[in-house]
Structure 1
């Protein structure tokens, strides 16, 4: 065996002996160990959908591919015929090369095999085959032939664009099980990045872990990994280029290590760790019906974050006392021109309310933008054409207020659902008084429209997400306007420290223990409690056991997290005596910073961990 040890996110070469292994390092974002065969989602300059299709849809999907090939051939032939007489001969020759590549069996024929054997949709299959062929071109010694890779990429890009505008596309089949055609081997996902819309397709599949080239600890990819409760490593730079389809891969989500083609000794060690983790999970599930009460009798509410109506069942099973955050934007993903209307949204919200059996449900208005674009706004457009920094652009409440008709439509749907149970409305990314006024104006207009149409709605509490430093600093104004507040710590950290949380290049600067971040969190909790307003934390900090004692000491009594994290946080709460946290606040980890009260009346200051 040859072990190739690499610095973080890079590599020193590939061992071509298939009995040799390779290691890569990235950022650990979801704990545990995953072992399986690699399934690659190849990167492309064109954003494409990735989903599995039903066996009965294979022939139809291949027909789509061949129709796209014929359409591109006709397009290239037309360009060639329309060349002016004085056009350079090289232009016609270049079009000949593109036509030759287009009709080569190594492209469309092999792509059809991906559809047949793996049940990939046509776009995914084409991207996967491009990755295979691109590697062949890279290995060519002849400079001229090696440079033809760019021609191949251009041909594939044309095909993808035709496929993306094909109205006969097979709808994503979330229920398809990849194991039906992958055998008994477990599967792990390897990609440059995984879009939130793609994660919806992979959510209920058999992937036991995933690796991405890009991303940080609180990028959306990382959050989804934790929500799925599967091991993941992000920011591994070249992983999707180095790992090949069907390679055996070990993902160490604790250390941020990815091992390709591990030896039998390494495999056995990691399988033992897998068994230990599973035993710990089983032990924690016994706490699901135990009330979350500290040793000194402080009752704590543990709510669930969910993304789709079907997630409500998992929230109840985990022992959640309600839904603290329903990310409604996921209803809008994987949709193009057919966005969910008022009635469809109303039915989705009612499904959650009914499933929670009388427990409260907090619905956040759409947080579209940044790393969660609508299909009708391509990620490329949002990231490169319309916004230099999408995290600071038209997203969340800014987007909703810019689309007043759609915003009122969603508000009406939420209001109607409130007639069936306890529904609370949560508004993301507020920072300006004008946004507060705009939100309540839209809400008043929605109520008026429902009243005029004779449709029932309940009394809905309205809350604000505190995720922009400006909101935390003017918290008293927010508490004047809103019934409750919820701290979105992921964005609060990002904006306080001026760090793109999805960028692995600055991931080491993303620091939830930063004194400024903790002071803003403590300030918000303290102000809300003083005013008698409900306050919760729904960001990743809520589901991190190392922060549980700190947040309890700040006075927090309401946490919201993914259902898979509830048991671990409950265990931490059951072991805590809040009376002992007033003088010295320690995180659960031995290397966590120490916090002591500030003299100004209840804030916190950080003492960095010792080296």
Structure 2
């Protein structure tokens, strides 16, 4: 039976393939692919975990007091029986050997399959045995967690060509760190139950340039392993087991989309100049040093945002030291061949926590609202040793190219002064150690309304500013952008948001300080003309979005945009007003 599941469209395009479910668990489960030759080791891990849990259950059974209820012993016997069920073990091995899942993923995938079988049983007693199976699996997962197994990076080398069918990922949620595991992997698209248009999961999906739908609420429950599914990233729809005629229609759309991408690809190295001769800088947002080469190939003229926090994630509790960070930053800087690289200091918190095993475990996880807690520059200043290491590594990398330093979520003058003191201290320590470094420009992220309102003060202390529209919208409208329950209220076209963006661009231009937009608004073609009209001449976006924005700019005469900003800001419905104004302007031109 074919069904449709509706969510939020966050990354355009069509993906068709077999569903791969990442089952949720009360125990954190690592999901990654292994290489074929590592299957035997993963199977051994499963056997060891099973033996460990069996020994634990046997010990519990022996310790049961004589006066205890007989059902307690019977329950332990049921768990032992399930644990040694060869059909269950063989099925789990099949996930490892044939699909190359790691041990934890394999056992949760099989749990998903068997749990559905229990749900369909008519006998109430048998249906209730699903809870016993879940408890057994949870014990095995805890046993496996004591053995790090094969590192997640190993799966990245697995090529999609080794599989007969394309795969799409279906999950309750995917943490940003897990998304980095899946980057450039076999998946052609993904769907999650939770998330908003600018949750970090959605942002990474756009950076991967694959179709994605989030906030579906029920997808991971309704879809079964290996179901054929279609992801419509334009409409925000997941179609499960589509009829042949629907499948053929989407395959046609998929081919059309591929042709359009090929056409846009030819624009990647063309100069980005408006029809009236104004040069526009299109920069790239990157997550890892290796992404710098991708940015160059996409036609970026620099990196406007290097999200350094991704170098700190998925490391099993071991954070990169100064030397490792230096090598990573140097790799990115050298890859750009003299083009500017803007490195943002670590921005953890809210939807981007560090590994819980980290010695720098975030205290924000114990707060009621992480988005308003100890995150970004607040966290860095609370961890001066870590912050100092990062500053020294960035400064050392500056001798290999043009580096700019960007500070996230600044809101207070005292934070500015503390950052400058930390930077001066880092310079002194490098001098004492005999390490070379160059002067770097210091910039601030404008992503808190207070920063936008205090911009004249900020411009006295910073060399440039970058508008992070994702958080600026979130904090201006008091909307958690990762919460699908309020995602419909997240509105980049809200008059208050547009006023703050326009004001920031105008004040920075008047002060002669460079200003860019590095949030999702920069990569959305619907905002291109409006941002140009506001005076923006530097856009930073995911590499996959550069060609489509460049095409829009190449077709625009910036001189004809006079009056657009005033018209839009005066309207109660800014988006409708912008579309109508541009449509009228095009008719007059032609």
Question: If the length of structure 2 is used for normalisation, what is the TM-score?
Answer: 0.93
Compared with structure 1, are the counterparts of its residues 394 and 102 closer, same or farther at alpha carbon in structure 2 (3 Å cutoff)? farther
Contact 2:12/2:210, CA 8 A, preserved across alignment: yes
User: Comparing 544-553 with 470-479, which one deviates more in the overlay?
Assistant: 470-479
CA contact (8 A) 2:168 2:190 kept: yes
CA shift in 2, pair 1:77/1:569, >3 Å = same
Contact 1:519 1:605 in 2 (8 A): no
| Equivalent residue number for residue 121 of structure 1 | 102
Higher fraction of helix: 2
User: Contact between 1:57 and 1:170, CA under 8 Å: does it hold in 2?
Assistant: no
Aligned residue number for residue 482 of structure 1: 462
CA-to-aligned-CA distance 1:552-611 (integer Å, 9 cap, x gap): 1111111000111011111111111222222125xxxxxxxx94356xxxxx87546389
Compared CA separation, residues 475 and 174, structure 1 to 2 (3 A):
farther
1:589 aligns with: none
**Residues 559 and 334 (structure 1 numbering): CA distance in 2 closer, same or farther, change over 3 Å?**
same
- Match runs of 1:155-234 below 5 Å: 155-177=136-158, 179=160, 181-183=162-164, 185-234=165-214
Contact 1:46–1:157 (CA under 8 A) maintained in structure 2: yes
Q: What is the alpha-carbon distance in structure 2 between the residues aligned to residue 245 and residue 563 of structure 1?
A: 32
Supply the distance in 2 between the matched residues of 1:397 and 1:538 (Cα, whole angstroms).
Answer: 17
Rounded to whole Å, the distance in 1 between the matches of 2:18 and 2:531 is: 40
CA gap 1:262/1:57 in 2 versus in 1, 3 angstroms: same
Task: Please provide the CA RMSD for this pair.
Answer: 2.1
Number of the residue aligned with 1:539 = 519
Q: Report the more deviating stretch, 291-300 or 566-575.
A: 291-300
1:580 corresponds to: 560
Structure-2 residue corresponding to 1:10: none
1:372 has 2:356 as partner: no
Question: Using the alignment, how far apart are the partners of 1:606 and 1:271 within structure 2?
Answer: 36
For residues 255 and 146 of structure 1, the distance between their equivalents in structure 2, rounded to whole angstroms, comes to 37
CA distance in 2, matches of 1:169, 1:98: 28
Q: CA deviation at 1:422?
A: 0.3
2:464 maps to 1:497: no
- Superposed counterparts of 1:224-373, under 5 Å: 224-373=204-353
User: Quick one: which of 33, 50, 55 aligns to 1:74?
Assistant: 55
Distance 1:252 1:168, change over 3 A: closer
1:181 and 1:282 map into 2 onto residues whose CA distance is: 24
Quote the Cα distance in structure 2 between the aligned partners of 1:177 and 1:555: 45
Ranges in structure 2 where 5+ consecutive residues have no aligned partner: 581-590
Indicate the SS of the match to 2:73.
helix
Deviation at residue 113 of structure 1 after TM alignment: 1.3
Label 1:346 to 1:203 Cα distance change in 2 as closer, same or farther (>3 A).
Answer: same
> Counterpart of 1:596 in 2: which secondary structure?
helix
Residues 25 and 256 of structure 1 are in contact (CA less than 8 Å); yes or no, is this contact kept in structure 2? yes
Aligned pair in 2 of structure 1 residues 285, 55: CA closer, same or farther (>3 Å)? same
Return the offset for 1:437.
Answer: 2.2
CA shift, 1:525, in A, is 0.9
Q: How many residues align?
A: 576
Query: Does 1:47 find its partner at 2:41?
Result: no
Query: Are the equivalent residues in 2 in contact too, given 1:359–1:422 (CA < 8 A)?
Result: yes
Q: Which residue of 2 aligns with 1:601?
A: none
Matched, 1:609 2:576: yes
Give the structure 1 partner of residue 385 of structure 2: 405
Aligned residues of 1:411 and 1:443 also touching (Cα < 8 A): yes
Q: Are the structure 2 counterparts of residues 597 and 579 from structure 1 closer, same or farther at C-alpha, using a change threshold of 3 Å?
A: farther
Shift of 1:86: 4.1
CA distance in structure 2 between the partners assigned to 1:169 and 1:86 by the alignment: 45
Structure 1 contact 64–169 (Cα < 8 Å) conserved: no
**Deviation for aligned residue 1:178:** 5.3
- Provide structure 1 residue ranges, at least 5 long, that are not aligned to the other structure: 1-14, 16-20, 586-593, 599-603
Conserved? CA contact 1:216–1:504, under 8 Å: yes
